[in-house]
Structure 1
């Protein structure tokens, strides 16, 4: 894998559930962490046949109609493609530098299943972090997800489980993510948010759920849809 190509699982706009404002979402493909309860098992396997040029992803970003308040990169595990991730983030920053800064403040947020201390021990990862505005780190731990309808606590907002850490990395990151930087805090009065995307492809229609649901929410949704006569096929959150 060269720095010019990215194993891409999906790109979507608009995303309103993984960071502040209206965002572009980029999901990488390939993850060996295999967190129990992961909702994105479909991104675990790396398929080199689905590699795309980083320039194509940057071209897609530049073609978006707006508004774009930020870019969210998730996976998969983005940091398992460090050269491609660095090229992508570097390209996003170059594109951002050409925008009208008086009207647009666009942040770069990256999700990683690695803990922050591990990322900072790698020179490649540190270089990427230096180019980002915020990172959300740590493996998904199912028992530390607040749970479904029975949960009485606050929402973790853009985190899947309470162990995950929000780390602002720039002045813009501190402005937008600083209030969530304490991993013990939850978003008071803010419930989990999930949006639905329907894509038509050569394999037929696929429904994507984008966001951070509470533990048990997806099974509850599947049950509700089944009772309404909607049958789901393979789903990414089941083994």
Structure 2
């Protein structure tokens, strides 16, 4: 699979403490996308699915769920199917004495399209929930809009949270049905700092409201901190 990043813990893309996996490559190119760095299907990012599953199994703390995003996961259907199948096998192992984790997948495709595609349908049948639909910048109302909290886990109002299993309905059903009070809970963005051969990289994990990243950049500039190249600008 082409892998952009894997991170633990993630607390902004689904309920509880989660492992996050971002697949590399997307041809949808939604205007206003904050993850332009995941668009290119770069062969240099290829890793065995087994390596990602091994990383998951090695995580030291509680894992309430796994969130798979991108990029566009459904543009790597074989790898995504192998990944989700492997996660299910791992989570159902009787030796795992932890809470049952859920599998959440983000896609820029609308749910009706995914559900009509036989290959995608097989993947959906192994997931607990999906969040579907392209990002539409004008439908991200921004931080000062009175209903902006209602977009928790979603980038824009057109996107759908679709529970797919009994576990998914327990964990995502209230939010999918418009339980605003529950949706207002918790932060929308967390910060991860990675040290690599190319220097330090800062990752913002989550779904900010429209304008949040520009506000953050200007705040850092006033403090004398230069962000350098950022993924949310062309």
Q: TM-score, normalised by structure 1?
A: 0.93
Aligned pair in 2 of structure 1 residues 191, 61: CA closer, same or farther (>3 Å)? closer
> SS of 1:200's equivalent?
strand
Aligned counterparts of 2:98 and 2:47: Cα–Cα separation in 1: 31
Instruction: Determine which of 17, 26, 32 is the counterpart of 1:37.
Output: 32
Residue 23 of structure 2 aligns with which residue? Answer: 28
Q: Is the 8 A contact 1:192 1:213 kept in 2?
A: no
> SS of 1:131's equivalent?
coil
Aligned pair in 2 of structure 1 residues 188, 45: CA closer, same or farther (>3 Å)? closer
Q: Is the 8 A contact 1:134 1:170 kept in 2?
A: yes
Listed as ranges, the gaps of 5+ residues in structure 2 are none
Instruction: Determine which of 128, 131, 134 is the counterpart of 2:126.
Output: 131
Q: Is the 8 A contact 1:192 1:214 kept in 2?
A: no
Aligned counterparts of 1:69 and 1:144: Cα–Cα separation in 2: 30
CA deviation after TM superposition for structure 1 residue 127, in Å: 0.3
Aligned counterparts of 2:65 and 2:116: Cα–Cα separation in 1: 27
Considering only aligned residues, what root-mean-square deviation do their CA atoms show, in Å? 1.4
CA deviation after TM superposition for structure 1 residue 189, in Å: 3.5
Residue 151 of structure 1 aligns with which residue? Answer: 145
Aligned counterparts of 1:188 and 1:57: Cα–Cα separation in 2: 30
CA deviation after TM superposition for structure 1 residue 99, in Å: 4.6
Aligned length: 232
Aligned counterparts of 1:168 and 1:123: Cα–Cα separation in 2: 19
CA deviation after TM superposition for structure 1 residue 190, in Å: 3.3
CA deviation after TM superposition for structure 1 residue 133, in Å: 0.2
Residue 201 of structure 2 aligns with which residue? Answer: 206
Q: 2:104 aligned with 1:115, yes or no?
A: no
Q: 2:194 aligned with 1:196, yes or no?
A: no
Aligned counterparts of 1:42 and 1:185: Cα–Cα separation in 2: 33
Aligned pair in 2 of structure 1 residues 84, 146: CA closer, same or farther (>3 Å)? same
Residue 88 of structure 1 aligns with which residue? Answer: 83
Aligned pair in 2 of structure 1 residues 130, 7: CA closer, same or farther (>3 Å)? same
Q: Is the 8 A contact 1:192 1:212 kept in 2?
A: no
Q: TM-score, normalised by structure 2?
A: 0.95
Q: Which string of whole-angstrom CA distances, capped at 9 and with x for unpartnered residues, describes residues 171-196 of structure 1?
A: 000000001223x6645543651000
Instruction: Determine which of 159, 164, 168 is the counterpart of 1:169.
Output: 164
Range with greater deviation from structure 2 (150-159 or 82-91): 150-159
Residue 181 of structure 1 aligns with which residue? Answer: 176
Residue 13 of structure 2 aligns with which residue? Answer: 18
